[in-house]
Amino acid sequence: MFLPINKDDMIDRGWYYVDFVYISGDAYVDHPSFGAAIISRVLENAGYKVGFISQPDWKDPESVQVFGKPRYGFFVSSGNIDSMVAHYTVAKRRRTEDLYSPGGKTGKRPDRAVEVYCKLIRNAYGDIPIVIGGLEASLRRFAHYDYWSDKILPSILVSSGADILSFGMGEKQTVAIADALSRGKKPSQLRDIKGICYLCDNAETPYEGVECPSFENVSVNKREYAIAARIQQDEQDFFRGRILKQKHGKKMLVQNIPMEPLKTEELDAIYRLPFMRTYHPSYEHLGGVPAIEEVEFSITHNRGCFGGCNFCSIAFHQGRYITSRSKESIIEEAKLLTKMPNFKGYIHDVGGPTANFRFPSCSGQEERGLCKGKKCLAPKPCKNLISDHTEYLDILREVRSLPNVKKVFIRSGVRFDYLLEDKSNAFFKEMVQHHVSGQLKLAPEHCSAHVLDKMGKPHIEAYKRFADKYFNYTKSIGKEQYIVPYLMSSHPGSTLDDAIDLALFIKKQRLKPEQVQDFYPTPGTISTAMFYTELDPYTLEKVYVAKSSEDKAMQRALIRYFAPESRELVIKALHKAHRADLIGHSPDCLIDDKSTGNNISKITNFKSNNRGNDHNRGKNYVRKKK
C-alpha cells in the first residue's frame, strides 16, 4: 500500500492526523532507488503516520496543507537530483523533459524547490519544525558557488528558513530527529545528532571542531573559497571527521560529524521495507514516471564510493566508505523481481555508485577512516588497496541461476582500474561472458594526464590496458561486444591543446562518440570549486578553466571532430591552437582541407549531453568495433 497522498487516503486508513508530512519535488515513486521513498518508509517503519505530498503547486499555498497541520513537522527534499540540474542544461537552457515527473513533463516543480517548499510551509504553519534533506540540501549545506546565478549563495539552511538539515543518506538521523520531536523537544534541542547541520547564534558556537572561512569571506575571496572547499571535503569521514563551522553574518552554521553508515544488517532491513516498487497509480493516465524504467528491475548492493572523482557528488553526499547488503538480501530481492507481473527475465543491474565495490578499499579504514586528502585509486592505486571480486562474483552467479532469470547485467558501471588490480581474472572473464549487454560503460573521461589529475581519475594507460584485455576476452568467446567510454569536455585544467590531444586519442582508438559530456559545475564538488576559483583547492595553484561559450564549444566539437556539424568549429580550434598541421589528407590529420562551406550544419544545432552528474548519464557513446 502506498502512503497517503491526500486526506481521503488518510481517512481510509482510519487516521485523523499525520505525524509527519514528506514533501518531494519528484513524482511519488515508492521504490528503493528513490531517496524520498526510503526516508518516508523508514519513518513509517519507526511507527509514525506519514503523509506524502509530491510536487505541490508552488503558486498555491494550500498545496502543502493537504493533510492539515502534522503533529510533529515536515521533511522536505527536491527529489533525487538538484532541481536546477533537473531544469537546466549546462548551457543554462531549459530542459524539454523531466524524467522524475509524470509523463516526463516539465514545469511540475519550481527552481530551488527546497527553498520554495519551505517558505510555503512557513507561511502556512509558522514555526512548525522543518527538516530538509536529499541531494539538493546536502550539497548546498555550506556557502556554495551557484552556477546558474554565477554567485556565491549562503547555506540552503539560511535561505530556506528550515530548522535542521540532514546530510548524507539520512536514515539514522531521520529516526533520531523524529523520535526527539515526538517527545516534545524543539529543533534547537537536537544539536547533538550526528549527520545534521543547524544554525545558532555566534555566542552558542561549539568550541570543538574546525572553522571554515565565512560566507562573507568566500563571497569576495576566491582563495578563501578554495580553502573552505578543501576543508569541507576532507572532514566528510564518519570515523575521523570533525565538527565544521562557517559563519553567516550573526549566525553560525554548524555541521556535526557525519552519521556512521548503515551496517549490512541495517541495509538489509531497509530493503525489506514494503516498497510498492513503482509509481503511484494516479500517474497512470499521464503516462507514468519515466525514471522508473531504468531502475525497476535493478538491484542496489552497495553504498559509498572510494573512487572519489572530483566532479562527482557521491563522496560529499554518500561518503567514500563502502557498505554492502548481504548476499541473502540481494537474492531475496532478485526473487521478488522475478515474480513481478512485467518481469521479462532481465535484471538490468546489480550495482550501486560503482558496481564492483563490495567492501572498504583497505583494512586500515576500520581503524582510522579514509585517508585525508588522498585517493585510493588515483593517480595510481594505493599500495594498501584490496581488490577482490570473489564475493560479488558469487552473488552474480547465484542471481543469474535463479528460475526465470535469462540475463543479469551490470549497467551502473565498473571501476576498471580497480578491476585490473584483482589478481584473479575470474570476475573479468565472467563479466564479459555473462553480464555485458553488448556495450560496457566505462569512464576514462579524458586522455591528458594533468586533466585526469584535476578530475581525480587514473591516467589513460589503465583504460588502455583494460580495453585490450576486454577485447581479448570478447574475442575468445566469439562475441561482438563494445565499450561505451564516457568522455568529458571543458573540465577545469583542460586547455584547447588538451582537447586536441583527446580528439587524436579518439581517432586512434577508433571511437565514435554520439554525444558530448560538458563539465557541469554542480554544488559541493572539488571540480566546481576549481571552476569558480580557477585554483586547485589542494595546492592553491592556478588552473585553466574554459568559461567562454566559444572555448567550450570548440572543446566539445573536437570530441566529435568527424561529424559534419563540428567541422567549422574544429577548423577554428585547430587554427587557434596553431595546429593547422592536423588539417589535410594524411592519416595523422583530424580533418580534411576541403572547403568549410559544404555540408555544414549550423553550429547552434550541435547537440550535447548536459546531464552532468555521474549517476544520470545515459547511453552517450558508441564504441566502433576494434
Q: Are 238 and 319 in contact (CB under 8 A)?
A: yes
Q: For residue range 485-533, list pLDDT tens digits in order.
A: 899 999 999 999 999 999 999 999 988 887 778 999 999 999 999 999 9
Q: Are 75 and 21 in contact (CB under 8 A)?
A: yes
The three cell numbers of residue 31 are: 521504490
Residues 365-389 have a mean pLDDT of: 95
Backbone angles phi, psi at 314, to 5 degrees: -60, -45
| Confidence band of 289 (pLDDT split at 50, 70, 90) | very high
> So what's the pLDDT on residue 617?
42
Distance CA 328, CA 334 (A): 10
Does residue 569 register a pLDDT over 90?
A: yes
Tell me 542's DSSP state.
B
Q: For residue range 79-100, list pLDDT tens digits in order.
A: 999 999 999 999 999 999 999 9
- Label the pairing between strands 164-166 and 196-201: antiparallel
Cα 123 to Cα 33, 51, 63, 65, 322, distances in angstroms: 32, 19, 12, 11, 41
Residues 179-208 have a mean pLDDT of: 97
**DSSP 3-state of 255:** strand
Same domain membership, residue 610 and residue 562: yes
**240 belongs to a structural domain:** yes
Same domain membership, residue 486 and residue 597: yes
| Last residue of one domain, picked from the residues 412, 437, 462 | 437
Distance CA 431, CA 7 (A): 49
Does residue 604 register a pLDDT over 90?
A: no
> So what's the pLDDT on residue 559?
95
Same domain membership, residue 180 and residue 59: yes
Looking up residue 581, the CATH number of its domain turns out to be 3.30.750.200
Does residue 185 register a pLDDT over 70?
A: yes
Tell me 128's DSSP state.
-
Backbone angles phi, psi at 532, to 5 degrees: -75, -45
Distance CA 591, CA 28 (A): 49
Residues 358-381 have a mean pLDDT of: 94
Same domain membership, residue 530 and residue 571: yes
**447 belongs to a structural domain:** yes
How many CB atoms sit inside 10 A of residue 460's CB?
A: 20
Handedness of CA 312, 131, 254, 259 (dihedral sign): negative
**DSSP 3-state of 577:** coil
Range of the domain at 379: 297-437
Does residue 210 register a pLDDT over 60?
A: yes
Q: What angle is formed at CA 436 by the lines to CA 435 and CA 437, rounded to 5 degrees? A: 120
| Confidence band of 619 (pLDDT split at 50, 70, 90) | very low
> So what's the pLDDT on residue 621?
36
DSSP string, 290-356: TTHHHHTTEEE-EE--TT--TT-SHHHHT-S--EE--HHHHHHHHHHHHTSTT--SEE-EEESSSTT
Does residue 141 register a pLDDT over 90?
A: yes
Q: Are 569 and 260 in contact (CB under 8 A)?
A: no
Q: For residue range 146-174, list pLDDT tens digits in order.
A: 999 999 999 999 999 999 999 999 999 99
Contacts of 438 (CB under 8 A, 6+ apart): 480, 481, 482
**273 belongs to a structural domain:** no
Q: For residue range 378-405, list pLDDT tens digits in order.
A: 999 999 999 999 999 999 999 999 999 9
Does residue 14 register a pLDDT over 60?
A: yes
Same domain membership, residue 14 and residue 43: yes
Place of cell 554520439: 514
**260 belongs to a structural domain:** no
> So what's the pLDDT on residue 53?
98
Distance CA 296, CA 277 (A): 7
Terminal C-alpha separation, the chain: 50
**276 belongs to a structural domain:** no
Distance CA 562, CA 576 (A): 19
Same domain membership, residue 444 and residue 432: no
Q: For residue range 97-127, list pLDDT tens digits in order.
A: 999 999 999 999 999 999 999 999 999 999 9
Distance CA 45, CA 282 (A): 24
| Last residue of one domain, picked from the residues 408, 437, 466 | 437
Residues 41-56 have a mean pLDDT of: 98
Cα 155 to Cα 105, 193, 209, 237, 396, distances in angstroms: 30, 19, 18, 20, 42
Backbone angles phi, psi at 121, to 5 degrees: -65, -45
**104 belongs to a structural domain:** yes
Does residue 552 register a pLDDT over 50?
A: yes
**CA 207 to chain CA mean position, Å:** 33
Does residue 614 register a pLDDT over 70?
A: no
Which pTM value belongs to this model?
0.93
Residues 561-568 have a mean pLDDT of: 94
Distance CA 180, CA 46 (A): 12
Same domain membership, residue 199 and residue 50: yes
Looking up residue 319, the CATH number of its domain turns out to be 3.30.750.210
Same domain membership, residue 340 and residue 414: yes
Same domain membership, residue 417 and residue 484: no
Mean per-residue pLDDT over the chain, rounded: 93
> So what's the pLDDT on residue 620?
36
* Helix extents (H) in 415-457: 416-420, 426-434, 449-455
Give me the amino acid identity at 566: S
Q: What angle is formed at CA 229 by the lines to CA 226 and CA 235, rounded to 5 degrees? A: 140
Distance CA 3, CA 20 (A): 12
The three cell numbers of residue 365 are: 579504514
Instruction: Give 3-state DSSP helix, strand, coil % of the chain, rounded to 5.
Output: 35, 15, 50
Same domain membership, residue 240 and residue 100: yes
**289 belongs to a structural domain:** no
Backbone angles phi, psi at 179, to 5 degrees: -60, -40
Q: For residue range 423-446, list pLDDT tens digits in order.
A: 999 999 999 999 998 889 899 999
Q: For residue range 62-79, list pLDDT tens digits in order.
A: 999 999 999 999 999 999
> So what's the pLDDT on residue 145?
98
Q: For residue range 227-258, list pLDDT tens digits in order.
A: 999 999 999 999 999 999 999 999 999 999 99
Tell me 90's DSSP state.
T
Q: Are 379 and 452 in contact (CB under 8 A)?
A: yes
Residues 7-20 have a mean pLDDT of: 96
Give me the amino acid identity at 104: G
The three cell numbers of residue 356 are: 564492483
Cα 381 to Cα 290, 378, 427, distances in angstroms: 38, 6, 19
Does residue 290 register a pLDDT over 90?
A: yes
Distance CA 7, CA 15 (A): 9
Q: How many domains does the chain have?
A: 3
Same domain membership, residue 31 and residue 136: yes
Q: Which of 219, 213, 224 is nearest to 246 (CA)?
A: 213
* Helix extents (H) in 443-483: 449-455, 460-476
**292 belongs to a structural domain:** no
Same domain membership, residue 500 and residue 427: no
DSSP string, 28-88: -EESTTSHHHHHHHHHHHTT--EEEEES--TT-GGGG-TT-S-SSEEEEE--SS-HHHHHB
> So what's the pLDDT on residue 157?
98
Longest dimension (CA), the chain: 78
Q: Which of 350, 354, 455 is nearest to 410 (CA)?
A: 350
> So what's the pLDDT on residue 593?
81
Q: Which of 19, 387, 39 is nearest to 180 (CA)?
A: 19
